[in-house]
Structure 1
């Protein structure tokens, strides 16, 4: 195969991957290649983005850049040099000092990478002990400096906290500080913003951009979020089936994509300025080692020709990037086209779900509270009035800690509301799930964010689906098997998946099984808790289309929690914006996102990223909202630059703008200025 290599002619690369082929031994004892003929360079101070679907080899390549190979893996050909050191030739002791020192790693989930039983100070001291030459007497001061470097407030107090006492954004900043302890020249980031809300993500990405400028670090940024990559990286390498199939400047790759796969990935991204669902990629990526000749993308490509199946795709040099495709020259001069999918949905006029003046608190008064007449703390969620019609999708949006999941837990029966009504038609939902009838439990089902945590790894797909079928309908083994086959067909999975374990499925397949299990109860209301946040863009598009098709066929109703506002725009009919457990704005998604905005709604919309290097998100405030809402007045008063004295004392009224309701003291004409003047919102420096 031809080499795919972009040379940086201005300086010697800090990292040089040459002809790397990496494989592992499968269950049959055959050595199969998971990475093939990789050629990449990273210059000092440069940021390179690795993008592609799950299983394409991004994380495997990133970890190989630290000379980390999974058990059973081996280098079949090629090398990786860090400066003049061949990483795979280094002895274990040399590698140990290199990792975490000159090469740092920021993992995907900071909450899981931090030790829950150790204070932040102790964990930073450990990083300094392992990866710096500082004497113990200087660790404390250096730890403070590291927290200041990542822009964490009150670093002295932060050192004395445990990870669970920090927000998601603060935990991620601590992970960055720990990676900086060894003063790395190269930072490897593996999906560092997955799971973060839109404003926190924007702050973390801005922090990474700033640190790279200040410290001159090079970065390798692994992500399925092309908007995040566009914000951080100058160059992008697109991977598919273990190969780099397109590589070049971010501007060329994102604004003038050439390879059909790159174009398909970009088309699968939902956009705020587009109505409808983005198209998903047909088919699935090939199994590791299954493609021995021809183009690995041929079976899914709309431009495929017979030669694509038999001949390896040649390397084509274009203006500022290179593409591995038989028709690269032809496609490069053909504008990429995009389309959206619109599916009609029949909706009832009668509300299925009603929440009236719902107040939720996690505080449980004790004996001393009663004896000392202590006032109850401010409720976590208060004053929630929402209606959801049958066959409709309502999205709850807001930063982490805004009360979205708290409301969903109350509807599901995991947590009860203190006051107010929650009704499904005439059935009272404001009771613990164990006090609900079997029929009522069946009517309300939930799809969780992470199918790995919600699917029993020791049960086959059939056993997973059989449980609700037996519980709700009393089906025997044979009837359950027949019904389970129908459910898999519903989510576009073949019958042979029934005998597989979750560990034998891809991320998208696991989520389809979770959806099938949810529909096994024939529910009326489905609670969707960040069901696409951990999926790559192509799988996300397929899952969104599947959910919409099932809603069309079954008339099911969705309550949808999401951080990605573009996903909300694609799937939701109504949207409710929450801040500190209080509603700010409620209405049809088109009116809320394009009409008059509450100042907080505008903050969220300003922070949305686009897969465009020229897009500049407007970042405001801190990435860690207040822990508690104010005792009175507007919940958003502390962060709103348009706040007036009455905002601190009086609860804002609801204003009607068509079907769009906004809760704000400012009149609609004043709020209209936010559409064209986002600078009215506070900046990070106040």
Structure 2
């Protein structure tokens, strides 16, 4: 086969790809073929090389990487580096379209795990979509062209599970939840006419109802003849969607084959170590032991977008000492806005947030060092919260230096110990963020917040994007901290109902309102509100779409799915 030919029937192909960074191989001889209308899933633990493989289809590699092998899209070689390292340049500029490679009309759409990285923070989300759509209706008169472009934008947003697109196009990325941002990027890929879509953890950070819709939408994307490369820890979604599964471990493909065979009858020990589709966390007790004292309280909070529209109303919500409060709800229900109000990151609100008896300033800039340390926030978009040019350990240690006055050497030792407790090696800690996976960066963000020794730790989807073992270890660590440190409480913003079951209490948000709250056992076992009941029911299984015919000879595989 010549260097400019793709394998028959494949729209994209990776062959013998090896990627090394700093003397460590992060991919070792990886090969895969993407066929139209088929779903190829890459599974494996955090840091196994899934994201690096997916980004290779866009011709993107970590700065300073040594790369060998070939990547072909639509018959053309892309991203091939015959010799020498990938140049180390500035951080990627945000705000372009969904990144993709246009090769003979076969663009590759990319839906990243950190969607904010490809959305311009100072541009309304509808503006870029509208620009793309305008380019597709050039032959029409000006007024008709704008109307046709708007119709295409709304159609793409609906196809990406954003049926309320008309209300969202005027918002900025920070005014959307992580799940909404992710679906905006998918809408970009669909507007661009992608023939391959690389979806990196598309069900991460999604509520159970939206996760079901994402499964259905990706099945429909494949049914249009688009090749889908699914990178995921969500084995229920993989089992529902995938035609072929590749299992990666330490940068190598340890097993590949039809999805049902690989997941039901794995041939290698590396695959047999994958968690079952049903998520089984080996915990049998709730987090911590709450005390009667109130550490944090929200009173009559009305949060608004800059345009004045109200996004959240919380009449009263209290967090007790040593307690874990889980905040549940659908994507866009106001969970992240509540978390950002607590942390001083969303200041356009009326009402009060109190730390003990003291009213906290609305803005982070107006809080003193003690208040900053007392309420720490772990971002859902971990990558965007780190400086791409500085080693991870230094950034984590900086928290102890700045907020607690710890000497730099001692702070680095504390950072190493905390990163190690969260499963990050010394080698990983010495890398810049670009050399780590999304799951590794989430754990680093948690370590950074913990070094402030906060009284209140606000975690926004801290278990999202982690494999089951790491998720369990993270929950165990948080539980241990609540039990051993009597001065810390936890607000767990999550879509993970398995994690929420170990919280002391649960508050459920819907359309910016608290619709139900109580003990986790009461709320999740006998929910009173219809939304809570729907979330609990949807979390028990990822519904599987019927077999959807794609191009001749292909189909989107349908199978039973276990618990999500």
TM-score normalised per structure 1: 0.61
Indicate the larger mover: 172-181 or 438-447.
172-181
Q: State the 1:508 CA deviation.
A: 4.9
Match of 1:233 among 230, 233, 242: 242
Q: Counterparts of 1:608 and 1:438 in 2: how far apart (Å)?
A: 40
Cα distance between partner residues in 2 of 1:75 and 1:511: 29
Counterpart selection for 1:56 from 39, 43, 48: 48
- Equivalent residue for 1:634? none
Aligned to 1:529: 460
Query: Quick check: 1:179 aligned with 2:225?
Result: no
Residues 1:504 and 1:158: Cα distance change in structure 2 (over 3 Å): closer
| RMSD over equivalenced CA pairs, Å | 4.5
Aligned residue in 1 for 2:273: 264
- Given that 2:133 and 2:152 are in contact with CA atoms closer than 8 Å, whether structure 1 keeps it comes out as no
Alignment partner of 1:34 is 2:44: no
Structure 1 position 505, deviation (Å)? 5.3
* Structure 2 match to 1:347: 289
Conserved? CA contact 2:42–2:248, under 8 Å: yes
**Larger Rg over CA atoms:** 1
Question: What is the Cα deviation at residue 50 of structure 1?
Answer: 1.8
Q: Write the distance in 1 (CA, Å) between the matches of 2:41 and 2:522.
A: 35
1:121 correspondence with 2:113:
no
Task: Name the structure 2 match of 1:384.
Answer: 315
Cα deviations by residue, 1:463-493 (Å, 9 ceiling, x for unpaired): 5455444455544455555655655565566
Matched, 1:98 2:98: no
Q: Is 1:151 aligned with 2:158?
A: yes
1:86-110 superposed Cα distances (whole Å, 9 cap, x missing partner): 74699xxxx97536x3354232255
In structure 2, what is the Cα distance between the partners aligned to 1:22 and 1:360? 52
SS at match of 1:605: helix
Q: 2:14 aligned with 1:23, yes or no?
A: no
Do the aligned partners of residues 188 and 457 (structure 1) sit closer, same or farther apart at CA in structure 2, a change above 3 Å counting? Answer: closer
Instruction: Give the alignment of 1:189-228 within 5 angstroms.
Output: 189-213=199-223, 215-228=224-237
**Contact persistence 1:609–1:615 (CA under 8 A):** no
What does the per-residue CA deviation read over 1:115-163, in whole Å, with 9 as the maximum and x for residues that have no partner? 637452222234x48xxxx856697647735743663689996998576
Shift of 1:560: 0.9
Structure 2 counterpart of 1:558? 490
Distance 1:235 1:471, change over 3 A: closer
461-470 or 388-397: which moved more? Answer: 461-470
Q: Which runs of 5+ in 1 are unaligned?
A: 1-10, 279-339, 366-376, 617-686
Using CA pairs under 8 Å that are at least 6 residues apart, name the structure with larger relative contact order, 1 or 2. 2
The change in CA–CA distance for 1:234 and 1:419 in structure 2 (over 3 A counts) is same
Structure 2 CA distance for partners of 1:207 and 1:428, relative to 1, 3 Å: same
In the TM superposition, residue 526 of structure 1 has moved relative to its aligned partner by 1.2
Task: Tell me, in whole angstroms, the C-alpha distance in 2 between the residues paired with 1:364 and 1:60.
Answer: 37
Deviation at 1:396, TM superposition (A): 0.7
Deviation of 1:393 after TM superposition, in Å, equals 0.7
Please point out which of 378, 385, 393 is paired with 1:447.
Answer: 378
- The structural deviation recorded for 1:237 is 1.9
SS of equivalent residue, structure 2 residue 454: coil
Q: 2-side partners of 1:402 and 1:485: how far apart?
A: 37
- Aligned partners of 2:130, 2:399: CA distance in 1, in Å? 47
Secondary structure (helix, strand or coil) at the match of 1:446 reads strand
Aligned-pair CA distance for 1:595: 1.3
Structure 1 CA distance for aligned equivalents of residues 513 and 180 of structure 2: 23
Cα shift at 1:413: 3.7
SS at match of 1:265: coil
Q: Which runs of 5+ in 2 are unaligned?
A: 1-6, 81-99, 548-564
User: For structure 1, which segment, 137-146 or 444-453, has the greater mean C-alpha deviation from structure 2 after superposition?
Assistant: 137-146
Give me the whole-angstrom Cα distance separating, in 2, the residues matched to 1:453 and 1:186.
25
Determine the C-alpha separation between the residues in 2 that align with 1:156 and 1:588. 35
Secondary structure at the counterpart of residue 22 of structure 1: strand
Deviation of 1:27 after TM superposition, in Å, equals: 5.1
Shift of 1:559: 0.8
Structure 1 residues 470-479 or 446-455, which shifts more? 470-479
Q: In structure 2, do the counterparts of structure 1 residues 550 and 490 end up closer, same or farther at CA, with 3 Å as the change threshold?
A: farther
Cα distance change, pair 609–207 in 1 and its aligned pair in 2 (3 A): farther
TM value normalised by structure 2: 0.73
1:14 aligns with 2:10: yes
Question: C-alpha displacement at 1:51, in angstroms?
Answer: 1.8
CA apart distance, 1:527: 1.4
CA distance in 2, matches of 1:420, 1:160: 28
What's the CA shift for 1:209? 1.9
Matches within 5 A, 1:624-663: none
1:253 counterpart SS class: helix
* Separation of aligned partners in 1, 2:328 and 2:381: 19
How many Å separate the matches in 1 of 2:272 and 2:423?
Answer: 24
Classify 1:553/1:455 alpha carbon distance in 2 versus 1 (closer, same or farther; 3 Å).
farther
Quote the Cα distance in structure 2 between the aligned partners of 1:452 and 1:60.
15
Question: Take 1:416 and 1:605, find their aligned partners in 2: how far apart are those partners?
Answer: 32
Q: How has the CA–CA distance of structure 1 residues 609 and 341 changed in structure 2, closer, same or farther, with 3 Å as cutoff?
A: closer
User: Number of paired residues?
Assistant: 509
Any residues of structure 2 matched to 1:375-414 within 5 Å, and which? Answer: 379-414=310-345
SS at match of 1:266: coil
The yes-or-no answer on 1:45 pairing with 2:37 is yes
> What SS does the aligned partner of 1:151 have?
helix
- Structure 1: distance between partners of 2:408 and 2:51: 41
Distance 1:256-1:421 versus aligned 2 partners, 3 A rule: same
Q: What is the SS of the residue equivalent to 2:315?
A: strand
Find the residue that maps to 2:273 and give its secondary structure. helix
Instruction: Indicate if the aligned counterparts of 1:355 and 1:423 stay in contact, CA closer than 8 A.
Output: yes
The residue aligned with 1:249 is: 258
Q: How big is the shift at 1:541? A: 3.2
Shift of 1:66: 6.1
CA distance in 2, matches of 1:179, 1:390: 46
- 1:629-660 deviation digits (Å, cap 9, x = unpaired): xxxxxxxxxxxxxxxxxxxxxxxxxxxxxxxx
